[in-house]
Amino acid sequence: GESVGLHLPTLSVQEGDNSIINCAYSNSASDYFIWYKQESGKGPQFIIDIRSNMDKRQGQRVTVLLNKTVKHLSLQIAATQPGDSAVYFCAENGSGNTGKLIFGQGTTLQVKP
Amino acid sequence: EAQVTQNPRYLITVTGKKLTVTCSQNMNHEYMSWYRQDPGLGLRQIYYSMNVEVTDKGDVPEGYKVSRKEKRNFPLILESPSPNQTSLYFCASSSYGTGRDDTQYFGPGTRLTVL
């Protein structure tokens, strides 16, 4: 079945270091991927997205890398700050035309001061 | 401010007592969707709507109803809530299907407890 998974449930990093959060997806037909950040008590917040015709996309302090060969997605956060502490989800659009997003289980990022 | 709003944010109810969770977006989005979030299961889609008067089932529609009479509103209805519907619910909207932007924007969530 379709699934999107993250490799690590929790990632702990030192403030100022770079963070890398990984995600594996299973549906080869997915052509749109999104990273969301969810802080405690809030809804998922869009961070960055990428389409399958790209390998890399950069935003402010964040970079998403897509490796379609191994169906792998990663989110890189530069100079991680305490405010980056949250649960990060990757999502894919799957193969149907329903607009549904398929979410991974999430990785908790803990930033140590 | 562009946003998706949900009400109520918190609700404790009893089994069988009908309830409605409202969702409204001010971004003129055609697409709206409801998800539930449960520990270990992630976010799962309940229902979605491509446009006014067009709704369809997601992955976990049992026990839920929706309606889309207006573009901006997409209420979630639990006709006879049961304890297994205790969850955190999110409404989302996007321009999906229009070719503009498939990004889904989420509301703040509604935490529902059914006793």
Percent of chain B residues past pLDDT 90, beyond the cut: 85
Compute the half-sphere exposure of residue B76: CA atoms within 13 Å on the CB side of its CA.
Answer: 32
Q: Give the residues of chain A that fall short of pLDDT 70.
A: 1-8
Pair type for strands A10-14 and A107-112: parallel
Per-residue pLDDT tens for B48-82? 999 999 999 999 999 999 999 999 999 999 999 99
Q: Mean pLDDT across chain B, nearest whole number? A: 94
Average pLDDT over residues B32-42: 91
Q: Degrees (nearest 5) of the Cα angle B73, B74, B78?
A: 140
Using CA atoms, how far residue B43 sits from A55, A60, B17, B27, B87, in Å, is 26, 26, 25, 23, 10
Per-residue pLDDT tens for A35-55? 999 999 899 999 999 999 999
Using CB atoms, which residue from B43, B56, B103 is nearest to A103? B43
Q: Degrees (nearest 5) of the Cα angle A18, A20, A24?
A: 175
Q: Where is average pLDDT lowest: B50-54, B89-93, B100-104?
A: B100-104
Using CB atoms, which residue from B31, B44, B108 is nearest to A99? B31
How far is B35 from A78, CA to CA, in rounded Å? Answer: 31
Within 33-52 of A, beta carbons closer than 8 Å to B belong to: 34, 36, 41-46, 49
Q: Which residues pair with A98 in a beta bridge?
A: none
Closest-CA residue of chain B to A4: B42
